[in-house]
Structure 1
Amino acid sequence: MTPMLHHLLIAPIVLPLVAASIMLLMGERWRRVKIGINLASILGLLALTWYLLQQLDQGHFGQDGTAVAVYLLGNWPSWLGIVLAVDRLSLVMVLLSSALGLAVLVYSVARWDRAGAHFHPMLQFLLMGLNGAFLTGDLFNLFVFFELLLAASYGLILHGSGSMRIRAGLHYITVNLAASSLFLIGVSLMYSVTGTLSMADMAAGVGSLASQERMLFEAGAAVLGVAFLVKAAVWPLNFWLPSAYAAACPPVAAMFVIMTKVGVYSILRVWTLLFGPEAGESMLFGADWLLYGGMATIVFGAIGILSSQDLARMAGFSVLVSSGTLLAAVGFAEGQVTGAALFYLVVSTLSVAAFFMLIELVERGRTPAAAMLALTLEAFGAANPDPVDGPEVEVVGVAIPAAMAFLGLSFVFCALLMAGLPPLSGFIAKFALLSAVLNPLGLQENSQALATGGTAQWIMLGLLIASGLFVVISMTRSGIRIFWAPQGRVVPRLRLMEAAPVGGLLAVCIVLTFYSGPVMRYMDDAARSLYAPQEYIQAVQTAPLVVRSEGGQP
């Protein structure tokens, strides 16, 4: 691999940083130029990440043909400097966030980017923080990128103003600041024991810790885990999420769907590295908390979906069900289960993000009086007299052909994907997940599924089926009220750039249905590498420094 190609590993962080910095120097009158820069940056991220994914999977970028590529910033060794470690899972997450960013950008250009200042640079800073969190190889820089993406999200959640957004935004900021404090405390405790912040170096030394040091290390890991679980919205630490996501403007809420997945990714990355088979007495530390905490989150989210009368809150609770499913799957500590969970992660993120953007288009065709006709809405006072989304009262867009057909079909596709019903990729993801959980012959000897004696598998089966049923009931009820009940509905006026992102995300989910075989194989490979972290550890620890010649060239 040439030095020029090697520098592509840091490009997913540098590209949005440069784009955001340039846009910050421009005034709001340069809106079209900002849109162009934002679009070019995200398209560049997509192309670059896809290229890296292909090359890494073929063994062209990794050290000695492995599927792990390492970038040493400043040419310092990994134990002393900052390191980026790129593998299959991290590139999938970067590709997912970039695809979501493209859809959000196109949707927001219709009008939402004008609802407040600095929308475009904040979106780029958010992408930079997400990509950095997915690619970093040490805990401190994971904290740095967490704070960067959170700082951008603080501005985005308040985008568009309104008392409801401010109130929900303050809750969101307070909770995440508390989680950041726990993050620092946990990392400090772990550093005091191991003397390193590199996750690979830390993982290599966990098995040899003395008894007292091990207790302190596990205490630090527990505190760090709480910080991750807050960001992953596990029950009972997720009280803030449905209100915050429902209050955010539609494109921001769609982008925020991946925020909980950052917490899940961090848990999966750190937990499999530090508490795998080489961890000695600390092996599978905290697996019960992940398993049963995820199941409790599924229960909470499913009940919230069934009880929600507002579509935005329903979507927020769907995020909780998705997060709980992923955490419970990680808690089983088995590669095949995790591989299916990664496929589910992609499908659920895309479908719920599409649903958040679809909600505003669906509600646009309903008059304010129509929203009050449902007796349940009147009984529970769900109507909001405070119009936090000022632009929604305007006449927007043009009446595109078959607008109602598009909205109805998109609503049905979202319902099928979120409930996990056939024939779409949501069903394939849930079926693969349950098949892996219920197959005792495929489970590893140290998996948590075998440790529970089969009880956890059947509980997981019941929860996934029940949560899907609750989604079907709630979506059917809302669909009847919106599309079939006589409410004096008018044909909504939609812009093509608003309909295209929703259709695009759903189209990706449909494509995943047809290519589920190769995608699942890729996810299984990514999961197996997580539960056999020796390749990752060795690649980071043995990453060679760049040797420069006398002329200063590598």
Structure 2
Amino acid sequence: MWQQHLAILPILIPLFTALIQLLPWGNRPQPKRRAIGLAASLLTLTAAIFLLFEVRQQEMLIYQLGNWEAPFGIVLMVDKLSAMMMLITAILALPVLIYGCFSEDNLGSHFQALFQFQIMGIMGAFATGDIFNLFVFFEVLLISSYALLMHGGGKFRVRATLHYVLLNLLGSALFLIGIGTLYGVTGTLNMADMAGHIQQLDGDQAVLAKAGALVLLVVFGLKAAILPLHFWLPQAYSTTTGVVAALFAIMTKVGVYSIIRVYSLMFGPEANELALVAHDWLWVMGLLTMLAGSAGIMAARDLRLLVAYLVVISIGTMIAAFSFASTATTGAALFYLVHSTFITGALFLLADLMAYERGKTASRIVSGKKMANHSTYAIMFLLAAISIIGLPPLSGFISKLMILESATANSHSFVLWGAVLSATLVMLVSISRVGSKMIWHTLSGKPSEQSAPAGKRIAVALLLLLSLLMTVFASPIRDYTTEVAEQLDDVASYPMFVLGQQAETTP
């Protein structure tokens, strides 16, 4: 019955890998650490694939640590949403780590271990069924991210990391306050159990629970970089190394995941007095986040900064779509989440490659010398631009079309249409400016002699290939994201699986 352990394997593999990589390893340790890291990433990806197929058959996997039954013990609750997010993380991590193995990890002795700790924290956040352990895994991934952001040093990197650390320390304090408030009125930390208790609250207890829910919304909004809590992201992501920024493409999705999980399971339509308590806020904040991201890419004078603002726009789009609280829009938003994670990861790596080969002009959006692999980067940039803007036929177009089609039944659909299409137009203009200045118009003279390793270009190509595959296999992926949305709507099934007798137990 090895399948019962699938829920915890994507957490244990990176954890033990990180601990092994911290060992001295004698002379020339880095090649050994790279080999171990790549092998572990492949194992994690394999486990995540098996986990998704197992969850699709069984609907949900419940793993009781120490054989302690919920709600008293710690449980991992892997439903279709969790399995999807864990698979996305594992897929993204492999090409990003391949990229990092080509000199990037030489900037710091513990890059490989920190990378695995980061993956472990992200996987744990997606798998936990306990809101306090969600906080614990948040702290694991945040501590790793602090060190990764500082990787390689530099004045601007240190300043951006300091801002990031201070804000997240505040976020962690608020997280504990929100959890404590909800625990005080429900008497439980298990999310499925808490959902049942919240449905029965009224009067002063309901007011307290609403306060706790809104405090958590601030915390998750900070993690997801939703306006007005988005201002840390552009500087943090644009000043760190490309490989770290690409990995962080999934980290903001942890905040989005937490919003979807908490406000569909605990504060969904069945929460009576507290039903959809955050959705009006999410609608407004999603639109404003798209607006802020659009303003940012118009003002950006650096490609890395522009890509960071593209992340902000994508977050706003997802949050606005989720706020409609319908199965169709949630499914479409999840399809868009998958697409945006891979394509922004590819763009961060591509910006890093171009900055290296352009020399002094680096990633600034100005004309510079022709790059050593200019034609390759031109093709890559064209594919990435078509996908992120949302032009046919790539996955960006499909995902945006799904969002717009699914929103038509809502009275606010015209506002979402206007916001998404306006952001798309701004992206088209801004990214066209980048292509014109950095690729089309180059300075005369001898091309740059700095050529990045072929392995880095392969890593970027793998991420771009995912956009093409999402286009080819759009129908089955859409079917799965719709299944995820339908399961999220079936709130009553969660207590049955988590608190009932259907839970798998550890031996």
TM-score range, shorter chain: over 0.9
- Aligned counterpart, 1:478: 434
Q: Tell me, yes or no, if structure 1 residue 299 matches structure 2 residue 298.
A: no
Q: Tell me, yes or no, if structure 1 residue 432 matches structure 2 residue 432.
A: no
Q: CA deviation at 1:373?
A: 9.7
Q: CA deviation at 1:458?
A: 1.0
- Aligned counterpart, 2:274: 282
For the residue of structure 1 that corresponds to 2:350, the secondary structure is: helix
Q: Tell me, yes or no, if structure 1 residue 515 matches structure 2 residue 473.
A: yes
Kindly provide the CA deviation profile for residues 451-475 of structure 1, in whole angstroms up to 9, marking residues without a partner as x: xxx2x21111111111111111111
Q: CA deviation at 1:277?
A: 2.7
Q: Is the 8 A contact 2:300 2:306 kept in 1?
A: yes
- Aligned counterpart, 1:503: 461
Letter in 2 for 1:133: A
Letter in 1 for 2:31: R
Taking the aligned partners of 1:367 and 1:31, their CA distance within structure 2 comes to 27
Q: Tell me, yes or no, if structure 1 residue 12 matches structure 2 residue 10.
A: yes
The structure 2 residue matched to 1:530, chosen from 468, 478, 488, is: 488
Tell me which structure has the larger Cα radius of gyration: 1
Matches within 5 A, 1:77-116: 77-116=69-108
Q: CA deviation at 1:547?
A: 8.4
Q: CA deviation at 1:545?
A: 7.0
Q: CA deviation at 1:111?
A: 0.8
- Aligned counterpart, 2:33: 34
Q: Is the 8 A contact 1:203 1:273 kept in 2?
A: yes
Kindly provide the CA deviation profile for residues 129-173 of structure 1, in whole angstroms up to 9, marking residues without a partner as x: 000000000100000000000000000000000111000010111
Matches within 5 A, 1:328-367: 328-367=320-359
- Aligned counterpart, 1:166: 158
Taking the aligned partners of 1:434 and 1:179, their CA distance within structure 2 comes to 33
Q: Tell me, yes or no, if structure 1 residue 231 matches structure 2 residue 232.
A: no
Taking the aligned partners of 1:156 and 1:347, their CA distance within structure 2 comes to 24
The structure 1 residue matched to 2:234, chosen from 217, 242, 263, is: 242
For the residue of structure 1 that corresponds to 2:76, the secondary structure is: strand
Taking the aligned partners of 1:171 and 1:288, their CA distance within structure 2 comes to 29
TM-score, with structure 2 as normaliser: 0.96
Taking the aligned partners of 1:544 and 1:345, their CA distance within structure 2 comes to 31
Q: Is the 8 A contact 2:62 2:503 kept in 1?
A: no
Q: CA deviation at 1:370?
A: 8.8
Matches within 5 A, 1:53-452: 53-57=52-56, 59=57, 62=58, 67-368=59-360, 374=366, 403-438=373-408, 440=409, 449=410
Kindly provide the CA deviation profile for residues 176-231 of structure 1, in whole angstroms up to 9, marking residues without a partner as x: 11111110000000000000000000001111113111111111111111101100
Kindly provide the CA deviation profile for residues 375-415 of structure 1, in whole angstroms up to 9, marking residues without a partner as x: 9x9xxxxxxxxxxxxxxxxxxxx96xxx3221001101111
- Aligned counterpart, 1:45: 44
Q: Is the alpha carbon distance of 1:230 and 1:372 closer, same or farther for their aligned partners in structure 2, counting shifts above 3 Å?
A: closer
Q: Is the alpha carbon distance of 1:9 and 1:471 closer, same or farther for their aligned partners in structure 2, counting shifts above 3 Å?
A: same
Taking the aligned partners of 1:372 and 1:209, their CA distance within structure 2 comes to 55
Q: Is the 8 A contact 2:355 2:362 kept in 1?
A: no
Q: Is the 8 A contact 2:63 2:76 kept in 1?
A: yes
- Aligned counterpart, 2:424: 468
Q: Is the alpha carbon distance of 1:374 and 1:137 closer, same or farther for their aligned partners in structure 2, counting shifts above 3 Å?
A: closer
- Aligned counterpart, 2:413: 457
Q: Is the alpha carbon distance of 1:192 and 1:507 closer, same or farther for their aligned partners in structure 2, counting shifts above 3 Å?
A: same
Taking the aligned partners of 1:217 and 1:156, their CA distance within structure 2 comes to 36
- Aligned counterpart, 1:446: none
Taking the aligned partners of 1:515 and 1:81, their CA distance within structure 2 comes to 40
Q: Is the 8 A contact 2:55 2:83 kept in 1?
A: no
- Aligned counterpart, 1:493: 451
Letter in 1 for 2:219: A
Q: CA deviation at 1:278?
A: 2.0
Q: CA deviation at 1:478?
A: 1.2
Q: Is the alpha carbon distance of 1:486 and 1:128 closer, same or farther for their aligned partners in structure 2, counting shifts above 3 Å?
A: closer
**Which one is further off, 39-48 or 537-546?**
537-546
For the residue of structure 2 that corresponds to 1:71, the secondary structure is: strand
Q: CA deviation at 1:5?
A: 2.0
Q: Is the 8 A contact 1:68 1:535 kept in 2?
A: no
Taking the aligned partners of 2:17 and 2:201, their CA distance within structure 1 comes to 45
Kindly provide the CA deviation profile for residues 298-322 of structure 1, in whole angstroms up to 9, marking residues without a partner as x: 0000111111110010011001001
Structure 1 gap ranges (5+)? 378-397, 441-448, 549-553
Q: Is the 8 A contact 2:284 2:320 kept in 1?
A: yes
Letter in 2 for 1:35: R
Taking the aligned partners of 2:147 and 2:188, their CA distance within structure 1 comes to 33
- Aligned counterpart, 1:388: none
For the residue of structure 2 that corresponds to 1:257, the secondary structure is: coil
TM-score, with structure 1 as normaliser: 0.88
Taking the aligned partners of 1:431 and 1:278, their CA distance within structure 2 comes to 29
